[in-house]
Amino acid sequence: MQDFTTVTRLITRKNALDQSRIAQERRSLVPAAGEVILKIDRCALTTNNITYAAYGNSMNYWGFFPAGEEGWGHIPAWGFADVIASTVTGIEVGERFYGYFPLASHLWMRPERVTERGFYDGAAHRLGLTSAYNQYTRCGWDTYYRPETENLQILLKPLFLTSSMLADFLQDNRFFEATRLVFSSASSKTAYGTAVCLENYPQLERVALTSAGNKAFVENLGCYERVVSYAELATLAGDRPTLYVDFSGDLDLRDRVHRHFAGQLVYSCFAGSAQSTDEARLTAIEGPQPVFFFAPIQIRKRNAEWGPEGVSQHIGEGLLRFVRQVTAREKPLLEVIESRGYEAAQSVISRLFHGQVPPVEGHVIRL
């Protein structure tokens, strides 16, 4: 193997997410003691990545892969990578891993807690960060891994993990006594993934709030009992206990929802920011104050109660069902668009930032 390589990475201006540039440097491919080098093969880009960047400071998402330049950062993305060099017992050259990566050609890592399942990156700068994002899964161990559906896995697994854990959180709390759930940005994959996870609760009415342009798409999903546009919010009767699941992050919309349902609004769950790149604000003009849902907290709870294997089984089996639902139709609900290179990634990120990617599209970048 050659001793040096050119490392390519896409770095983004932290205060202007549609501005990025390609940076290159030469680095040795000889790993230090306790180090592995992974060659990143492919990553998914969704609105979720824009959320990571938008909350990069408040939730320290920029901290996972420091860019080394003031004001610039790596937008994290979920993907697959192959080990090309290793000095770590239990991690072999050629093994493939799923996990959290920068948009870059290579990543140097310091594995700890190495098991059959995979490892955690013990790099010093990641020690204080959320451990769920530091875990890398060995594809050879994962019984739910399918080589032929890698693109679907990296597009849907991170989003469905949130969907599955959010649905579990709501069930765990008996839906806060609500009989109606209202989802904003209902066309987002995380929103309708949550709705799908709650399909066996006939006492619940799942209501989709979406843009007029996405209304037909959302109606075709088949996982909501009712679909209304944002302009039609007032047509929803305030006649039952209602829980708002906010995937939009739109503060004006949140206030409209809170005002409309008034005393019938029993809980306001802030779950995402598909329509806003502003820092998260847990405020509302009236009614219950929004509560931020963070999937790793529910995972930690279930790890203690079910064990990690139980949690993996719960998410893995649910994901397989969700993938079948998304792809089994004559006209699939997700069109995978695979592109190659950093220029393609720049274009997709800009379109995502400006809300120009239709909900049916799922973008994968080969690096």
C-alpha pair distances (Å), 55 with each of 64, 243, 249, 272: 13, 24, 12, 11
Say what the pTM is: 0.89
Distance CA 342, CA 7 (A): 12
Q: What pLDDT is stored for residue 198 in this prediction? A: 96
Query: What's the alpha-carbon Rg for the chain, to the nearest Å?
Result: 21
| pLDDT by position in tens, the chain (length 367) | 568 999 999 999 999 999 999 999 999 999 999 999 999 999 999 988 998 998 899 889 999 999 999 999 999 999 999 999 999 999 999 999 999 999 999 999 999 999 999 999 999 999 999 988 999 999 999 998 999 999 999 999 999 999 999 999 999 999 999 999 999 999 999 999 999 999 999 999 999 999 999 999 999 999 999 999 999 999 999 999 999 999 998 899 999 999 999 999 999 999 877 655 565 566 677 879 999 999 999 999 999 999 988 998 999 899 988 998 888 877 788 999 999 999 999 999 999 999 899 999 999 999 9
Q: What pLDDT is stored for residue 275 in this prediction? A: 56
Helix or strand (DSSP H, E) at 148: none
Q: What pLDDT is stored for residue 1 in this prediction? A: 56
Take residue 40 and report the two structure tokens written for it: 């990143």
For 224, residues 6+ apart whose C-beta sits below 8 A from its C-beta are: 183, 186, 192, 195, 206, 207, 208, 218
Take residue 210 and report the two structure tokens written for it: 């979406």
Residue by residue, DSSP assigns 81-107 as EEEEEE-STT--TT-EEEEEE-SBSEE
Domains of the chain as residue ranges with CATH: 4-142+334-366 (3.90.180.10), 156-297 (3.40.50.720)
Q: What pLDDT is stored for residue 286 in this prediction? A: 83
| Ramachandran area for residue 302 (φ above 0: left; ψ -120 to 50: alpha; else beta) | alpha
| Ramachandran area for residue 314 (φ above 0: left; ψ -120 to 50: alpha; else beta) | alpha
DSSP 3-state of 325: helix
Q: What pLDDT is stored for residue 276 in this prediction? A: 55
